[in-house]
Amino acid sequence: MATYCIGDIHGCCDEFLKMLDLIKFDDKSDELLLTGDLIGRGPYPVETMREIMSLGKCVKTVLGNHDINFLALHYGIVKARPKDNLEVLLNSPLRETIVNYFLKTPLLYIHKQKPLVMAHAGIYPLWSIKTAKKEAKAVEKVFANPLQRIVLLRNMYNEAPLTYSAANDGILRWRFAINTFTRMRLCYFDGSMDYKNNAVSPEEVAKDGLAPWFSLSAPLLFKKKQYKLVFGHWAALNGNCHEPHIRALDTGCVWGNRLCAWRYEDDTFFYVKSAGYADI
């Protein structure tokens, strides 16, 4: 049995299916972990979700920012933007099924047998795995409550707070967790987040005192157990993360680059070239 992790699909269904063929994925014996952003910007969101859901329990995924945006769109909190290509999901007979799928999708996945952890954007560098699990569960509990989820989705589009405080509760706590797990890229050395430089490489902002979250994470995340942590979200990295216990898997398929998969057992990477969607 092999465990494969695949980076952000973004509705690139053709490349996703080619990747399953390339890795010879067996849904009877293998596991498939997806880093989130299953939809958004890409050409085939309905087909992508249909294929993923058809694979059943062998697939585990986490919520990405585009997936959560679709929930806000479904509930009428935001308006559809043509560039996101999500209106087709609103008009699909699978709409409710897809909404329910995302409502049951966690922000953080921790493998039960293997020291393997997955989050869409990563884990806040001043958190331990234990704290990350607690904060993810708090948001997942809110999404399970029909009234609370609407309140959260309405108040989600804000960057504050930029640093974590255990004293925060309610919206501030939930929003920080969502921003961390689905939007984080760069941090200052005191742990405050930066959301202004979200499309640049780490080298471009080092002079401003910013660093990738993962370069600050090792002391707490890997103190007690040598987890492997996989994340997506940051296409500008093109998979370049040199931390020994962290794998970056978003290689910009929807932007015309390629789709990436990683096999846990032997640390092997696989790539499928994008059909080319850079103008979407």
Q: How many angstroms separate the CA atoms of 26 and 32, rounded?
A: 9
Averaged pLDDT for residues 169-174: 96
pLDDT tens digit string along 200-257?
778 888 888 999 999 887 655 666 678 999 999 999 999 999 898 999 999 999 999 9
**3: closest CA among 111, 129, 133, 120?**
111
Please tell me whether residue 172 adopts helix, strand or coil conformation: helix
pLDDT tens digit string along 67-89?
999 999 999 999 999 999 999 99
pLDDT tens digit string along 2-33?
999 999 999 999 999 999 999 999 999 999 99
Domain 3-273, classified CATH 3.40.50.2000, yes or no: no
pLDDT of residue 216: 87
Q: Is the pLDDT of residue 280 over 70?
A: no
Q: Which residue has the higher pLDDT, 174 or 204?
A: 174
What CA–CA distances, in Å, run from 71 to 6, 34, 39, 76, 277? 22, 18, 12, 9, 24
What CA–CA distances, in Å, run from 50 to 18, 94, 159, 266? 15, 8, 33, 30
Report whether 118 contacts 213 (CB < 8 A).
Answer: no
Averaged pLDDT for residues 111-121: 96
Residue 269 DSSP code: E
Please tell me whether residue 120 adopts helix, strand or coil conformation: coil
Let me know if 177 is exposed, middle or buried by CB neighbors in 10 A (0-12, 13-18, 19+).
buried
How confident is the prediction for the chain on average, in pLDDT?
94
